[in-house]
Amino acid sequence: AILAAIVQRLSPGPLRGRHVIVTSGPTHEPIDPVRYIANRSSGAQGTAIGRALVAAGATVTFVTGPAVVPPPADTTLVRVETAQAMHDAVMAALPADAVVCAAAVADWRVANAGAQKMKKSVDGLPVLTFAENPDILAAVSRLGDGRPALVVGFAAETQDVTRLATQKRARKGCDWIVANDVSAGTCIMGGTENAVTLVTDAGAEDWPRMGKDAVAERLVARMVDVLTAVTP
């Protein structure tokens, strides 16, 4: 954290003095001490965004689930496992000028998670009940006075991407949605490339397929436009 603060103070970029929180990676939701529910997010896109924000001079708090790729350097790093812990870490890291919710957060957790390992021979087939997890994107978007100037969400869809992402933007109350098609054939989830649609109040822009680093740089350039038009 001290190093991050020094790096940030010395860096000349356009986001110098701005605090951005990035969430990244999957969350793991326990079923019992050895089993959990996960998702295929590698953390690659969130990590690339964190790196691009650091390069632009921002002070970055990087809240990550158990990702495959290593986290970006020179950030305040917070490692979490569950959606609830990620929510709490984001709230604790506020205030911020912007929040980028790139993590693939589990919508729900197992309400009847066991303290002991479930036994096939004793328990038979499991009956899992679920509870809704806190919605980090909606919670940040609906903050009153402390709402960040820019709240960016992600949407991983397998069909009808633009329509669903536009609905998601309205439902969550965020400013932008970065939407992508994670269908099996696209090789996006876990891969190095991304083909996204940016949904803002001005509508939907389809960006060409490019590396996740390039998506991150383009997104951060757009963030610079918005954030430098706002008095910090």
Task: Name the residue nearer to its own copies (CB basis): 96 or 105.
Answer: 105
Which has the closest alpha carbon to 79: 69, 92, 89?
Answer: 89
31 versus 53: smaller Cβ distance to its own copies:
31
Pick between residue 14 and residue 114 the one whose CB is nearest to its own copies. Answer: 114
What's the min distance (Å) between Cβ of 194 and its own copies?
A: 15
Name residues whose C-beta falls within 8 Å of residue 114's C-beta, 6 or more positions apart in sequence.
Answer: 31, 32, 33
Smallest distance, its own copies to C-beta of residue 87, A: 15
- The CA dihedral of 87, 91, 97, 103, to the nearest 10 degrees, is -10
For its own copies, the binding residues (CB under 8 A) are 28, 31, 33-41, 104, 106-108, 116-121, 125-126, 128, 130-132, 156-159, 164, 167-168, 171, 182-184, 189
We find the least distance from the C-beta atom of residue 216 to its own copies, in angstroms, to be 21
Round to whole Å and give the CA distance between 78 and 96: 15
Catalytic residues: 39
CB 101 within 8 A of CB 140: yes
